[in-house]
Structure 1
Amino acid sequence: MMRVFCCVSLLLSLALAYYIYIPLPETVSEPWKLMVLDAAIRSLFSVGGLLQSLGLCHHIKFIRHTVQTLQVLTPVPSGGPKVHDTTFAGVQVRVYESSSVEKGKLKRGLIFLHGGGWALGSTKEQSYDLLCRKMADELKAVIVSVEYRLVPDVHFPQQYDDCLEATKYFLRPEVLALYSVDPEHVGVSGDSAGGNLAAAVAQQVSVDDSILVKFSAQALIYPVLQALDFNTPSYLQNQNVPILYRAALIHFWLEYLNADHSLVYPMLINNHTGKDQKALSKHRSKFDWTTLLSPEFQKNYKPVIPVKGSPKILKKVPALLDVRAAPLLAEEEVLQRTPQAYILTCEHDVLRDDGLMYARRLQQAGVAVTSDHHADGFHGTLSFAFWPLKFEAGERAVLNLISWLNDHL
């Protein structure tokens, strides 16, 4: 009996090890820990996919519910900034007010937009909540974390609209005065899909003359900025590196833009951006990585541009060319008016080149840019700076972000 038990245990251990192990680049931060994290995320998505295929619930709602349930088990930190939930222009927000500012002295202000593929994440999620508490404390600031609505309940442009409306409300002089925020020191930040929304909101605020208070800084963390080239060097190099796979990101894009998921394969091979697509003529230079990336990031990769593409994709999904969804496509005169920028990128991330290309375009437009590239980083690094999912690369990312904001906000 003991022999049978040992054999079964060995087989189960081998099966678990086989499931967990995936080949990773040698330079990625704490690879075995990342493998375990990836296995847990893959399992969650697999169960969600099964439940959706059985018609029981949308897979994204299952994932959100599971994560939210786990959050209940996490104790709320004591002390630190004053935290309260409210609404700005009808949009739910969580406000973090530093309690360490001298009486009568104005504070900095920061709009923060969480990531999660426009479908996941929350102001109440542990990693984002702890990050905002830390930023409020160390920057002596008021942090407004926006609880924008998510897929599948809403699609583009609702997420963007929520973020913009909450931002415009906070930037009203009387609201800033209510929170004792210095109008000369207000910024916007976000990670991944939140970085996408932060970049888009920063562009709109910069050109909207009805908004009297302008941002003094933008901090974008591995932002997703375009959906026209899924074959940049970083997309090809990192297509199977967790925690964001290339095909998964296209699914997130299609959910966000409320498009048919049958388009995943055509978009994987850039069939929506063939040379014969005239609608792209004025945009190609804006995402041409052969001119926007330095040789060290281009390596030996070659552009993937089909001679003949499918004109139906851009017609079915016109939002692919909408700057509110793809901020990398903004005109130079818009970029010129945006604030100084901090852009964090990770070597082992499909979105690395989006961030690097945007940094280059901003610099070409005359905007001061601080590029912070993490050679051992992976997508989502910022969210893994706190217990129990703590990575050294995540702690460093948070440290660098707060340090830059402290110097520039």
Structure 2
Amino acid sequence: MANPELLRRSYTFFTGVLLLMEAFDKLGLWNITRIFVFAQKILMPLQKNDPEIFKKDLQFGGVPVRVYQPRSPSVGGRKGVMFFHGGGFMAGSIESHDHFCQYVTKKSGAVVVSVGYRLAPEHRCPAALDDCVMATVHFLKTAQEHGVDPSTVIICGDSAGGNLTAGVCQALVGRSDLPKPLAQVMIYPLVQMVDFNLPSYQQNKMVPLLLQKHALYCTMKYVGGDLSLSKELIKGSHVPPEMRQKLSRWLSSEEFKDKGYKPHIMAPFNKEVYEGVKITLDLPCSPLFSDDAVIRQLPQAYILTCEFDVLRDDGILYKKRLEDNGVPVTCNHVKDGFHGVVGLFDRPDVVSGKLAMDNIITYIKNL
């Protein structure tokens, strides 16, 4: 695994932040989102504006966005990239991913639109997806006003943003009034909130920057579930029998035979628990489980996964679902990578982050 010292420091920091959040949450002393924002400001250095990039803050359909445009002249329309930031649906912002978006714009020549969707727990599921769909529809209808060919719009996001990327592309299926997105780019995406004992969850549950307990905490805050049900989600008692059968079939594929997976026997189905968190099984949370009829109409995809990441197998499972339905997929697996590594692309000590970022840029440019 790359950068072990960085991960050790991150583990200490994020564990402390989570404990602080849980304590304040129980006491009702401080807004949880403010704690996340405070933590981000500590971690995030001030970014300089790139003189080659023009930035403008706007609203698309009432949703705040920041549009990044290259200042260099272009012959014909540019590609467009709709970007949804990660952060477990509770953190992240246009500012936290500003440097990322500037870099994508500069290196790919595309116009990037970063979406400031509403965050949990104040705004629960499906508020984030609704905002991202609204902003994307607006951009597809007005792309030419921003110098973008509307037939070349790419939907992109990291982590929770990868979930929103999958969700937006599925929500647009069948929209005859809009151009179809050219591609979907998902960076270590979260695509299911059903099984928290996939091989990658078992192997990497204590690996920063995303621990199993952090993923569960954010999930429960996003869906508005009672935190006391977190243990039931780990047990899998919320999963109906038909969905268990799908998971069992998918996990028996070749991709999982070499991962040392010890099948987790889910607890007996508990309808009461299911009723409390059943939204986790639907599209806004688990696009992995959408019908084949929807999946086969999705645009070509790029999926980045990291070996030391609890979400690794989410990406692998979504790749399989897309390929099984005839959707072309380009996959980049970072063997020494961890969750969040792409966001550290500008750190000289995180070589795999820079390589992963440049791989994404190459994919966008070659579309």
Task: Provide TM-score, normalisation by structure 2.
Answer: 0.94
Give the match for residue 6 of structure 1.
none
CA distances 1:133-168 after superposition (whole Å, capped 9, x unpaired): 111111111100000010122000111000000000
Task: Give 1:287 deviation, angstroms.
Answer: 6.8
Give the match for residue 392 of structure 1.
351
Give the match for residue 59 of structure 1.
32
Quickly say closer, same or farther: Cα 1:75–1:113, change in 2 above 3 A.
Answer: closer
Q: Counterparts of 1:106-145 in structure 2 under 5 Å?
A: 106-125=77-96, 128-145=97-114
Task: Tell me which amino acid in the other structure corresponds to 2:40.
Answer: V
CA distances 1:199-218 after superposition (whole Å, capped 9, x unpaired): 010111122223x2110111
CA distances 1:39-73 after superposition (whole Å, capped 9, x unpaired): 222233333334334432033322213424665x6
2 CA distance for matches of 1:316 and 1:295? 31
Q: Counterparts of 1:117-196 in structure 2 under 5 Å?
A: 117-125=88-96, 128-172=97-141, 175-196=142-163
CA distances 1:81-139 after superposition (whole Å, capped 9, x unpaired): 1011110000000110112233x5211001000000000000111xx111111111111
Contact 1:233 / 1:353 at 8 angstroms: preserved in 2? yes
Q: Counterparts of 1:329-348 in structure 2 under 5 Å?
A: 329-348=289-308
1 CA distance for matches of 2:234 and 2:243? 22
1 CA distance for matches of 2:252 and 2:176? 33
Contact 2:115 / 2:132 at 8 angstroms: preserved in 1? yes
Q: Alignment partner of 2:215: what SS?
A: helix
Give the match for residue 205 of structure 2.
239
| Equivalent pairs, count | 367
Match of 1:91 among 55, 63, 66: 63
Contact 2:36 / 2:90 at 8 angstroms: preserved in 1? no
Quickly say closer, same or farther: Cα 1:109–1:255, change in 2 above 3 A.
Answer: same
Quickly say closer, same or farther: Cα 1:141–1:287, change in 2 above 3 A.
Answer: farther
Q: Alignment partner of 1:171: what SS?
A: helix
1:79 aligns with 2:66: no
Give the match for residue 315 of structure 1.
275
Q: Alignment partner of 2:112: what SS?
A: strand
1 CA distance for matches of 2:164 and 2:65? 15
Task: Provide TM-score, normalisation by structure 1.
Answer: 0.85
Q: What is the RMSD computed on CA atoms of the aligned residues?
A: 1.9
Task: Tell me which amino acid in the other structure corresponds to 1:206.
Answer: V
Q: Which moved more, 1:192-201 or 1:41-50?
A: 41-50
1 CA distance for matches of 2:79 and 2:248? 34
Q: Which runs of 5+ in 2 are unaligned?
A: none
1:402 aligns with 2:343: no
Quickly say closer, same or farther: Cα 1:218–1:113, change in 2 above 3 A.
Answer: same
Task: Give 1:288 deviation, angstroms.
Answer: 4.0
Q: Counterparts of 1:364-383 in structure 2 under 5 Å?
A: 364-383=324-343
Q: Which moved more, 1:81-90 or 1:62-71?
A: 62-71
1:225 aligns with 2:191: yes
Task: Give 1:228 deviation, angstroms.
Answer: 1.3
Q: Alignment partner of 1:376: what SS?
A: strand
Give the match for residue 264 of structure 1.
230
2 CA distance for matches of 1:47 and 1:146? 28
Contact 1:293 / 1:356 at 8 angstroms: preserved in 2? no
Q: Alignment partner of 1:272: what SS?
A: coil
Q: Which runs of 5+ in 1 are unaligned?
A: 1-27
Task: Tell me which amino acid in the other structure corresponds to 2:80.
Answer: G
Quickly say closer, same or farther: Cα 1:297–1:355, change in 2 above 3 A.
Answer: farther
CA distances 1:195-252 after superposition (whole Å, capped 9, x unpaired): 0000010111122223x21101111011111111111111111111111111221111
Contact 2:3 / 2:349 at 8 angstroms: preserved in 1? no
Task: Tell me which amino acid in the other structure corresponds to 2:262.
Answer: Y
Contact 1:293 / 1:353 at 8 angstroms: preserved in 2? no
CA distances 1:253-283 after superposition (whole Å, capped 9, x unpaired): 111111101111111111222xxx3xx5267
Quickly say closer, same or farther: Cα 1:44–1:405, change in 2 above 3 A.
Answer: same
Task: Tell me which amino acid in the other structure corresponds to 1:116.
Answer: G
Task: Tell me which amino acid in the other structure corresponds to 2:83.
Answer: F
Task: Tell me which amino acid in the other structure corresponds to 2:236.
Answer: N
Q: Which moved more, 1:374-383 or 1:40-49?
A: 40-49
CA distances 1:267-306 after superposition (whole Å, capped 9, x unpaired): 1111222xxx3xx526742674423451454424224233
